[in-house]
Each structure stands twice: as structure tokens, then as C-alpha cells.
């Protein structure tokens, strides 16, 4: 009887130790904090990031956790969510917009931040691309080069393009360098430029009416979470007014914009997993050089071109990564 009781006690002790071990392992499981602007807009990008993690051996719920926070287009919520992630003591914060980086940067100087951002040196996120110097690293792209290429391709797609209307939203407070790069590229190509900001959905109709009255022959949409969230309004107005446009990413072109030339966001989000892996294995973000995009997307919507009466040169179509017919 005593032997049986002892065996029960020993077995109970074993179960308690096992439960404690499981709890300790769970507590030690690395946690990634995802700081996003909009859940719907970033769904495919999050999948690309998660795929990158799986390829490196990380499976959510088994050996890694992801705490997701989405501001749903409200920039004012980002600091609160960044603070929440810091309070949870996540091992690394992943974000992909200047407002998100700024919020994370303000919330912590010790937790590593893996970002995607244009002009991060100019923004004050890192010291240099090769030696970031703080707790931030990741992917950087230079708008000047992209803008020049985007304008050149747009000019080839729309023969005689001489007046370009630029649509932008500056809610994130970081757009001016990008806007200037596009304006400079268009002017260098001999075009006249008119730029207008949209702040609320009703501004789109006003802006497009102004563009038509001014005699715009094409529109350049600047990267903006606000515009992306309201892109259906813009795309409907472009179609109604028969105005060709080059937009910030593939999503727009699939839905009716004429074309895009941009760094592949899916590829950049996938690559962020590499930085997370390096950091979780002990690398310091201060010494992890920022990478620039390796993959670019030139996408043309041929159906939209036909609707607009544009004959896209075959040589240009051959250069496209994707032609939507």
C-alpha cells in the first residue's frame, strides 16, 4: 500500500514537473510583435512574412508566437499599439511603414525593430544603411530611383504625356521627400506638374475634377495607406474620367489602374523573416546592414489601356513582369 502511494506521489510529481517544464518552454517561446496599419491591406504581406518564417523553421504556436496589432488606417493608434507590444516584452517588433517605425522607435530603444521603409536615413531611423547603429534594421528603398523609372515607363505607355497630376496624402508626415522625387523626375522629363493632397474621401472627386480642368493627361498616385484604403473611389473616378494613372502597387493595377512600377512588397515582407531569424539567434540590429529591394514589379493592365484607347508599345509589354488581359 505504501509502495503504491509512493508511486502515485512520484507520478504526480512527474506530471507537475512536466507541466512546469511546458510552462517554462511556453514562456521562453520567442514572440514577434507585428505593428500594422491595416489588416485587410496587409493580409497578403503578412502571409509572405509567415511563409518566410516557415522556410527558416519557425511555426507559429510551436516555436514562435506572433502578437498582431493593426491600426486599421488610424495613425493615432500606432503609438498605443507599439506601447502594448513593448509591455508584452516581445523579442522583436516588425513593421512596414514610416508611421509604424516612428511609433516603435518612440516606444523602445532596446527591443529590436525590423522595418520596411523608404529613405530611412533621411527619416532618422538609422545612421547609415551599412551600419544602422541603433535597434532598427531591415529593408530600405530609395524613392528617387523608383520615381525616375516609374515616370519614364509611364511616359512610354502614354505617348505625348506632357501634363502630370500627382495625388498624395501626407498623414504619415513623411511623404515630402518622395513627392519631391516624383515632381523632379517628371520635370526632368519635360512635363508640367500639378500636385494635390487628398485628406478625406470627398477630396478625390474635387482633385480629379481639378486635374481634368487643368488638362492632365496622366495621374501619378503616391504611396499612401489612406489612398489605398479608399482606392475604389479613386479607381472609379479614373475610369469615369478616362484618365490613365500609374499607381503604387500591383493591387491597384489588378483593380483597374493602368500600371505600376514598384519594389515587390511581398518579396520585402518575406525577407523581413531573415532579419527576425538573425536577431533571434543573437545578432545585433545595430550591426545588421539594411538591404535594398531585389525584386521589382512592372505590371500593366491591358484591358484598362484598351478602354482608354491606348496602344501600349509591344517592347514595353515585353518588359512587364505581368500583363493583365
Q: Write down the domain spans for the chain.
A: 30-139+265-296, 143-264+297-324
The helix, strand and coil proportions of the chain, stated in percent and rounded to the nearest 5, come to 50, 20, 30
More confident residue, 146 or 39: 39
Q: Do 30-139+265-296 and 143-264+297-324 come out as alike in CATH topology?
A: yes
CATH code: domain 30-139+265-296 is 3.40.50.2300
Q: Is 143-264+297-324 in CATH node 3.40.50.2300?
A: yes
pLDDT at 238: 97
- When pLDDT is cut at 50, 70 and 90, the band that residue 206 belongs to is very high
Position 21 scores a pLDDT of 42
Q: Do the strands 296-301 and 259-263 form a parallel or antiparallel pair, or are they unpaired?
A: antiparallel
Average pLDDT over residues 200-222: 97
If you average pLDDT over residues 29-35, what whole number do you get?
97
Q: Which helix (H) or strand (E) holds 324?
A: strand 322-324
User: Percent of the chain, pLDDT > 70?
Assistant: 89
Average pLDDT, the chain: 89
| Cα distance between residue 237 and residue 206, in whole Å | 10
Torsion of CA 228, 233, 235, 240, to 10 degrees: -170
More confident position, 145 or 169: 169
User: Is the pLDDT assigned to residue 10 strictly greater than 60?
Assistant: no
pLDDT over 90 at 291, yes or no: yes
136/185: higher pLDDT: 136
Instruction: Note the pLDDT of residue 74.
Output: 84
Residues 193 and 72: their CA atoms lie apart, in Å, by 32
Instruction: For the beta carbon of residue 235, count every other beta carbon within 10 angstroms.
Output: 20
**Is the per-residue pLDDT at 22 higher than 50?**
no
pLDDT in tens, 232-262: 999 999 999 999 999 988 999 999 999 999 9
**Worst-scoring range by mean pLDDT, 183-192, 203-212, 235-244, 267-276?**
183-192
Q: What local confidence, expressed as pLDDT, does residue 23 receive?
A: 46
Residue found under cell 520635370: 187
Judge whether residue 172 has pLDDT over 60: no
The span from the CA of 121 to the CA of 108, in Å, is: 18
Q: Where are the alpha helices (DSSP H) in 158-264?
A: 176-188, 203-214, 225-229, 231-240, 250-254
- Position 175 scores a pLDDT of 61
pLDDT interval class at 315 (50, 70, 90) = very high
pTM: 0.82
Contact between residue 231 and residue 176 where contact means Cβ atoms under 8 Å apart: no
**Cβ-based neighbour number of residue 104 at 10 Å:** 29
**Cβ atoms of residues 246 and 258 within 8 Å:** yes
Q: How confident is the model over 97-121, as a mean pLDDT?
A: 93
Half-sphere exposure of residue 262: CA atoms within 13 angstroms, side-chain side? 22
Residue 80 vs residue 38, higher pLDDT: 80
What is residue 42's predicted lDDT score, i.e. its pLDDT?
86
Kindly tell me if the per-residue pLDDT of 118 is higher than 90. no
CA angle at 315 for the pair 312 and 318, rounded to the nearest 5°: 95
Amino acid at each position: 500500500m505504501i509502495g503504491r502511494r509512493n508511486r502515485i506521489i512520484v507520478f504526480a510529481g512527474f506530471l507537475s514537473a512536466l507541466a512546469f517544464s511546458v510552462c517554462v518552454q511556453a514562456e521562453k517561446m520567442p514572440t514577434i510583435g507585428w505593428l500594422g496599419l491595416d489588416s485587410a491591406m496587409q493580409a497578403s504581406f503578412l502571409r509572405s512574412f509567415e511563409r518566410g518564417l516557415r522556410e527558416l523553421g519557425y511555426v507559429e504556436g510551436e516555436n514562435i508566437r506572433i502578437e498582431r496589432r493593426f491600426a486599421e488606417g488610424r495613425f493615432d493608434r500606432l503609438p498605443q499599439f507599439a506601447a502594448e507590444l513593448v509591455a508584452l516584452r516581445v523579442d522583436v517588433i516588425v513593421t512596414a511603414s514610416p508611421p509604424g517605425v516612428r511609433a516603435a522607435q518612440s516606444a523602445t530603444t532596446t527591443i529590436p525593430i525590423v522595418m520596411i521603409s523608404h529613405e530611412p536615413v533621411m527619416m532618422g531611423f538609422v545612421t547609415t544603411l551599412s551600419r544602422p547603429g541603433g535597434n532598427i534594421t531591415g529593408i530600405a528603398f530609395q524613392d528617387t530611383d523608383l520615381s525616375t523609372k516609374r515616370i519614364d515607363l509611364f511616359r512610354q505607355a502614354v505617348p505625348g504625356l506632357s501634363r502630370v497630376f500627382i495625388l498624395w496624402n501626407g498623414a504619415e508626415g513623411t511623404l515630402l521627400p518622395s513627392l519631391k522625387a516624383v515632381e523632379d523626375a517628371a520635370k526632368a522629363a519635360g512635363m508640367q506638374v500639378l500636385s494635390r493632397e487628398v485628406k478625406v474621401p470627398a477630396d478625390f472627386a474635387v482633385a480629379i475634377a481639378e486635374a481634368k480642368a487643368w488638362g492632365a493627361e496622366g495621374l501619378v498616385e503616391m504611396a499612401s495607406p489612406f489612398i489605398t484604403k479608399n482606392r475604389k473611389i479613386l479607381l472609379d473616378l479614373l475610369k469615369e474620367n478616362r484618365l490613365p494613372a500609374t499607381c503604387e502597387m500591383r493591387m491597384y493595377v489588378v483593380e483597374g489602374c493602368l500600371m505600376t512600377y514598384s519594389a515587390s512588397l511581398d518579396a520585402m515582407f518575406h525577407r523581413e523573416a531573415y532579419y527576425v531569424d538573425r536577431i533571434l539567434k543573437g545578432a545585433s540590429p545595430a550591426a545588421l546592414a539594411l538591404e535594398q529591394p531585389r525584386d521589382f514589379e512592372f505590371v500593366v493592365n491591358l484591358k484598362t489601356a484598351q478602354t482608354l484607347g491606348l496602344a501600349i508599345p509591344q517592347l514595353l509589354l515585353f518588359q512587364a513582369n505581368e500583363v493583365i488581359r
